[in-house]
């Protein structure tokens, strides 16, 4: 457990009161801990386990984290059970729902909730980029989840944002995230529906100057990258203004950057690859291609 203690001790002060991943074993940089990640929503830590471990191991982890006085509560989530993920309050106090901060903006999270807490911490640099580049732009946020990209875009001066996600619950949290930051109003739209049912409503609010595409890696029945990503990319031709920017994201370790680059080349030949955004420093990866890919493209004028 010393590996975990050393890394957590290094990461906690870097959070400066904001949310942060304080242990990222899944990046394969900490031998023997590939199944463990720990997210920090001050003052609460959420440890997620991606394989079955002995109860003793969980007790050791739980005791190890107790030595950090700044951590006031610990949730342990066992993700190896898929949809039946199980979470336990290990110790301390953890509210059902709380607000957390990232880049000076507030987001609602539910640390004890099954699976995801409400904010994907690996996308911090993507949101920073959007905040710095959305000024005056018409933004489309596809697969918006709790609309964190939208909050960042509006905080960065976007003219307007359209959010689309099939989860009404996620969209409702998205509305609250905008209220929390005083960003509600006419400049933002929330569309809760399955994107593959119709593109009409998305088209109706276009064209867009900045489009974010951040689908799940694999959500059978809703989005399977190998089959569905191409269908989304193809739509850029009718949705993007000349000169528009696109952030195409993909988080499946099986598919490297080439997967997205090839789709863009085939479906959107007048879009140029600009760069791959860097991932946050709290997500170390032994093999970059297996981590989150966020690719920036620009459409020719
Ligand atoms: C990786 S999350 C998006 C994260 C989000 N961009 C963020 O910054 O927090 C993927 C989202 O895609 C949504 N989704 C999956 N398939 C969809 C579909 N066919 N139409 C609309 N939304 C979909 C899920 O409900 C989920 O919220």
The pLDDT tens digits of the residues spanning 244-253 come to 999 999 999 9
User: Which atom of ligand 1 lies nearest, measured to the CA of 167?
Assistant: 25
**Tokens 């959007």 appear where?**
130
82: its two tokens? 């898929």
Superfamily name with CATH number, domain 2-94:
RNA methyltransferase domain (HRMD) like (3.30.750.80)
- CATH homologous superfamily of 121-299 equals Vaccinia Virus protein VP39 (3.40.50.150)
Q: pLDDT tier at 86 (50, 70, 90 boundaries)?
A: confident
Q: Is the pLDDT of residue 82 over 70?
A: no
From the list 78, 146, 148, the residue with the least C-alpha distance to 114 is 78
pLDDT of residue 208: 98
Pocket of ligand 1 (CB under 6 A): 120, 123, 143-146, 148-149, 164-167, 170, 194-196, 214-216, 219, 222-223
Atom of ligand 1 nearest to the CA of 127: 8
Q: Which ligand 1 atom is nearest residue 194's CA? A: 20
pTM: 0.95
Cα 70 to ligand 1 centre (Å) = 33
**Confidence band of 116 (pLDDT split at 50, 70, 90):** confident
Residues in the chain: 301
| Nearest-angstrom CA–CA distance, 29 and 53 | 19
Give me the residues paired with residue 190 across strands: 163
Write the residue with the smallest CA distance to atom 16 of ligand 1: 222
pLDDT reported for residue 184:
82
Kindly list the domain boundaries of the chain, sorted by start residue: 2-94, 121-299
């Amino acid at each position: 457990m010393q590996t975990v203690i050393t890394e957590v001790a290094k990461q906690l002060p870097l959070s400066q009161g904001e949310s942060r991943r304080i242990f990222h074993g899944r990046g394969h940089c900490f031998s023997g801990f590939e199944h463990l990640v720990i997210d920090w929503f001050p003052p609460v830590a959420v440890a997620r386990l991606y394989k079955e471990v002995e109860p003793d191991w969980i007790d050791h982890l739980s005791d190890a984290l107790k030595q950090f006085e700044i951590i006031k509560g610990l949730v342990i989530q066992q993700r190896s059970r898929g949809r039946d993920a199980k979470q336990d309050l290990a110790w301390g106090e953890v509210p059902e729902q709380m607000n957390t901060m990232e880049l000076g903006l507030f987001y609602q999270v539910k640390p004890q909730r099954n699976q995801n807490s409400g904010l994907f911490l690996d996308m911090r640099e993507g949101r920073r980029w959007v905040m710095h580049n959305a000024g005056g732009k018409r933004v489309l946020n596809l697969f918006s989840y709790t609309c964190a990209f939208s909050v960042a875009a509006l905080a960065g001066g976007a003219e307007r944002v359209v959010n689309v996600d099939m989860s009404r619950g996620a969209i409702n949290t998205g509305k609250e995230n905008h209220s929390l930051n005083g960003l509600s109003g006419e400049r933002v739209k929330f569309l809760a529906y399955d994107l593959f049912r119709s593109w009409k409503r998305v088209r109706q609010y276009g064209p867009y100057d900045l489009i974010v595409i951040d689908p799940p890696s694999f959500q059978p029945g809703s989005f399977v990258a190998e089959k569905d990503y191409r269908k989304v990319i193809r739509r850029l031709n009718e949705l993007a203004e000349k000169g528009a920017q696109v952030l195409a994201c993909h988080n499946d370790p099986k598919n490297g950057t080439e997967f997205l680059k090839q789709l863009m080349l085939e479906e959107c030949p007048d879009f140029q690859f600009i760069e791959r955004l860097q991932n946050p420093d709290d997500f170390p990866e032994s093999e970059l291609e297996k981590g989150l890919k966020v690719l920036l493209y620009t459409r020719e004028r």
